[in-house]
Chains A and B, each alone.
Chain A
Amino acid sequence: MKFKHVSGAGVFVFGATMLVAVTAVLVSRSPQLASSVAPTPVPHSVKRAVVYTNPPARLIPEGKALFAEDCETCHGPQAQGSSRAPNLQGLGAATVDFWVSTGRMPLADPTEQAFVKSPVLNRTQQLAVSAYVASLAPGGPAIPSVNLGATNISRGESLFAEDCAACHTITGVGDALANNVYAPSLYPATPTQIAEAIRTGPGNMPRFGPGTLSNQEVGDIVRYVTYLQHPNDRGGLGLGHVGPVAEGFVAILIGLGSLLVAGYWIGGRAG
C-alpha cells in the first residue's frame, strides 16, 4: 500500500542520510590517518622515566590544618588510624596524593569502595596534605612524575597485559570484581595518578614495588595507559571498549533488527 511504499524509500533516504552524517563525524575524528603511520621513536635519552619528589616542606603547616579539617575525624590527629580508617603513617606522599587528587578522599560513605569524584581540595592543598602526612613518619614513595618521552609504549603494552589487564581489562575500561569490589576505569587517571596507584596499591589493588617493576617499567605502563585513554579506533565507533557483550547487542539489535524491518517491508503485500 501507499504507506508502506513511502516507508521503504523513506527508510533508505533516512538511513543514507544518517550514514553520511555518522561517517563524516567518524572520519573527522579518526586519528589513525596520522598516528598509525608515524613510528614512535624509542628514545635513548638520559632522562629518567619516573622522578619522585616530595612536596615542599613549607606546605606542611597548611597541610596540617587541612588534615585536621577533612581527615582527622577518621584517620586520627597523627594519621595513626582508627577503627574507621587505616593508619597512614609511613605510606608516603604518593599514597595520600593518589587518594586526595582522584577525589576518592575525603570519603562520602566509609562502607563503600571509594570512587572517583571531583576533588574537594585544589592542587596546592592536595600537595599540602600529602606533605603533612609524609612528614609524620619516614617511608613510602614520594610523588612520581612521569616523563612520557623517556618511555617505551610497546614494553608498556606487554607489562600492562601481564600485570594490569587481569583486573582493569585489556582496554582499561575496568570491571566488577567479586564481593562488591570493582576495578575502576583507567580513562580519567593522570600519569602521576597511574604511577602512584602502581606503587602504592590503593584499596584492593596489589602493590608493585621497585622489586617487581622498575621505574622505567612503571613509566612504560603509564605511557600505554595514556594511549588507551585515546586508543586507535580505526574500525569506527568503539562501543565503550567492553568487547563482545556490546558487539553482540549491536549485531542483534541493530544488524538483525534493521534487516527485520527491511524484511517486514519486503515480505508485506504491496496491495
Chain B
Amino acid sequence: MSRLRVAAARERRPLAERVAAACLAASMVGTVGLGATYWLGGQPQLEGGFLFLALAGIGVGIVTWGKYLVPQGPYVQDRPPMASPDPEVEAMNDSLGRGLGQMTRRRFLLRLLGGSVGVFAVVNLFPFLRSLGPLPGKSLFVTNWKKGSRLVTASGRVVTASDLEVGGILTVFPEGFEGAPTNAIDQVVLVRAASYDLVTKPGRETWGPQGYLAFSKVCTHAGCPVGLYQELTQQLLCPCHQSLFDVLTGATPVFGPAPRPLPQLPLYVDPQGGLRSQSGFDEPIGPGFWERGA
C-alpha cells in the first residue's frame, strides 16, 4: 500500500464507523415510530415509511460495517475440479454394479416390482384425477337458453320490447338463471341497433325483431364478457384482448384474435311485448375446445 492509501484509510475508518452507528440508531428511531403508529391505530403510509427506516438503517449500517470496517482481501482460494479423481469414480461404479448384479440375478422379481409400481401409479392416478371434478360431458355444448325462455336482467326484471332505445345495451339471462355467481355460460348481450327488424345473416330473417340483437356475451377467444358496445360503429369489443365483432353481420370478428362470431340467440316478441328466445344457441358458446369440431 502506498502512503496515500494508508492515510486515506486512517481517515476513512472512523467516518464509516460513524455512518454505521448513525444508520443503526436511525433504525431504532424507525422501529419506535412504527410501534407508535401501530399503537395509535395504524396508518399505511406511516407504517411503510417507518418500516423502511427501521430496515434500511440496519441494512445500510451493517453493509457499511462489512464493506469498510473489515478486511476485504482480495483473498484467494483453490477451486478443485468438480469431477472426482478416476479411482473414486471407479470405486463408485464398482459398488453400483455390485448391487445391480446381485439384483438382476432375480430378473423375475425385478420385473414384477416394476409391474406392481406401474399398476399402482396408473390405477390410482385415475380415481385421484376423477375425484377432482366431474367429466365435462355435454356441458360445454349447452346453455340454459330454451325455446321460449324469457329475457330477464341480472336482477330478474323481465325485458320487454319497449325497454331499450335504439343504441341501447343490456346484459340478460334466461328467466330462472339470472345473475347467479356460479353462472357464466348464460350471459347474453342484448343490443338494439335499429327500430326495424334486422337480418344479420341469411337464415336469420326472424332473429332480430324491432332491431333487437342478442349475442352470447362469452368471447369466442378466451371467454371474457364482451361488454363494450361502440354504438356508432355498431361493434362489440372484448376488453381482454380487443377482439372486435360486427353486430350487423352476426357478430363476425373483424379485428383481433377471436376466430369465430359470437353465437346469436334468435328472439321474438311475445303478445305481451316481452322478449323471448326462439330456441337455444345453435352452436356451443365461448372459447374453443378439442371436442368442439368446427
A and B touch in the complex (CB under 8 A): yes
Closest to B63 in A: A266
**B1 to A: closest C-beta gap in Å:** 11
Q: Are B168 and A20 in contact, CB atoms less than 8 angstroms apart? A: no
Partner of B242, one of A178, A183, A236: A178
In the assembly, what is the distance between CA of A12 and CA of B27, in Å?
Answer: 12
Contact with A along B234-263 (1 / 0, CB 8 A): 010101001010000000000110000000
**B52 to A: closest C-beta gap in Å:** 6
Q: Are B233 and A204 in contact, CB atoms less than 8 angstroms apart? A: yes
Q: Are A177 and B165 in contact, CB atoms less than 8 angstroms apart? A: no
Closest to B43 in A: A27
Closest to A206 in B: B169
Q: Pick out which of these stretches binds chain A: B91-99, B199-207, B222-230, B280-288.
A: B222-230
User: Could you tell me which residues of chain B, from 176 to 229, have a CB within 8 Å of some CB in chain A?
Assistant: 191, 225, 227-229
The answer, yes or no, to whether A179 is at the interface (CB within 8 Å) is yes
**A30 to B: closest C-beta gap in Å:** 7
The answer, yes or no, to whether A19 is at the interface (CB within 8 Å) is yes
Q: Pick out which of these stretches binds chain A: B104-112, B113-121, B136-144, B156-164.
A: B156-164
Q: Are A167 and B72 in contact, CB atoms less than 8 angstroms apart? A: no
Contact with B along A147-167 (1 / 0, CB 8 A): 000000000000000110111
In the assembly, what is the distance between CA of A192 and CA of B185, in Å?
Answer: 37
The answer, yes or no, to whether A58 is at the interface (CB within 8 Å) is no
Q: Are A2 and B166 in contact, CB atoms less than 8 angstroms apart? A: no
In the assembly, what is the distance between CA of A256 and CA of B206, in Å?
Answer: 60
- Chain A interface residue bracket vs B: 35 or more
The answer, yes or no, to whether B154 is at the interface (CB within 8 Å) is yes
In the assembly, what is the distance between CA of A178 and CA of B243, in Å?
Answer: 9
Q: Are B165 and A12 in contact, CB atoms less than 8 angstroms apart? A: no
The answer, yes or no, to whether A26 is at the interface (CB within 8 Å) is yes
The answer, yes or no, to whether B149 is at the interface (CB within 8 Å) is no
- Counting chain A CB atoms within 10 Å of each CB, which of B15, B230, B235, B239 scores highest? B230
Contact with B along A193-214 (1 / 0, CB 8 A): 0000000010111111101100
Q: Are A181 and B63 in contact, CB atoms less than 8 angstroms apart? A: no
Q: Are B255 and A269 in contact, CB atoms less than 8 angstroms apart? A: no
Q: Are A207 and B44 in contact, CB atoms less than 8 angstroms apart? A: no
In the assembly, what is the distance between CA of A163 and CA of B171, in Å?
Answer: 8
In the assembly, what is the distance between CA of A235 and CA of B228, in Å?
Answer: 30
Partner of B170, one of A166, A167, A212, A265: A212
Cβ–Cβ < 8 Å partners of A204 in chain B:
230-233
The answer, yes or no, to whether B146 is at the interface (CB within 8 Å) is no
Q: Are B53 and A19 in contact, CB atoms less than 8 angstroms apart? A: yes
**A269 to B: closest C-beta gap in Å:** 7
Q: Are A211 and B160 in contact, CB atoms less than 8 angstroms apart? A: yes
The answer, yes or no, to whether A47 is at the interface (CB within 8 Å) is no
Cβ–Cβ < 8 Å partners of A207 in chain B:
165-168, 231
Interface residue SS majority, chain B: mixed
Q: Are B45 and A26 in contact, CB atoms less than 8 angstroms apart? A: yes
User: Could you tell me which residues of chain A, from 24 to 67, have a CB within 8 Å of some CB in chain B?
Assistant: 26-27, 30, 33
Residue tally, chain B, CB below 8 Å to A: 51
Q: Are B225 and A19 in contact, CB atoms less than 8 angstroms apart? A: no
The answer, yes or no, to whether A117 is at the interface (CB within 8 Å) is no
The answer, yes or no, to whether A9 is at the interface (CB within 8 Å) is yes
The answer, yes or no, to whether B26 is at the interface (CB within 8 Å) is yes
Cβ–Cβ < 8 Å partners of B160 in chain A:
211
In the assembly, what is the distance between CA of A20 and CA of B53, in Å?
Answer: 9
Cβ–Cβ < 8 Å partners of A236 in chain B:
44-45, 48
The answer, yes or no, to whether A123 is at the interface (CB within 8 Å) is no
Are A23 and B19 also in contact (CB < 8 A) when A204-B233, A211-B162 are?
no
Closest to A205 in B: B231
Q: Are B60 and A2 in contact, CB atoms less than 8 angstroms apart? A: no
Q: Are A266 and B67 in contact, CB atoms less than 8 angstroms apart? A: yes
Cβ–Cβ < 8 Å partners of A16 in chain B:
26, 52-53, 56
In the assembly, what is the distance between CA of A178 and CA of B235, in Å?
Answer: 9
The answer, yes or no, to whether A84 is at the interface (CB within 8 Å) is no
Are A5 and B225 also in contact (CB < 8 A) when A12-B56, A178-B230, A234-B44 are?
no
Partner of B167, one of A179, A206, A211: A206
In the assembly, what is the distance between CA of A192 and CA of B3, in Å?
Answer: 79
Q: Are A177 and B230 in contact, CB atoms less than 8 angstroms apart? A: yes
Q: Are A162 and B171 in contact, CB atoms less than 8 angstroms apart? A: yes
Closest to B8 in A: A2
Cβ–Cβ < 8 Å partners of A2 in chain B:
8, 12
Partner of B16, one of A5, A162, A178, A266: A5
The answer, yes or no, to whether A77 is at the interface (CB within 8 Å) is no
Cβ–Cβ < 8 Å partners of A110 in chain B:
none
The answer, yes or no, to whether A270 is at the interface (CB within 8 Å) is yes
Residues of A within 8 A of B (CB): 2, 5, 8-9, 12, 15-16, 19-20, 22-23, 26-27, 30, 33, 162-163, 165-167, 177-179, 181, 183, 201, 203-209, 211-212, 234-236, 265-266, 269-271
Q: List 5 A-B contacts (CB under 8 A).
A: A5-B15, A12-B23, A165-B227, A206-B231, A266-B63
The 3 closest A-B pairs by CB, nearest first: A166-B227, A211-B163, A23-B49
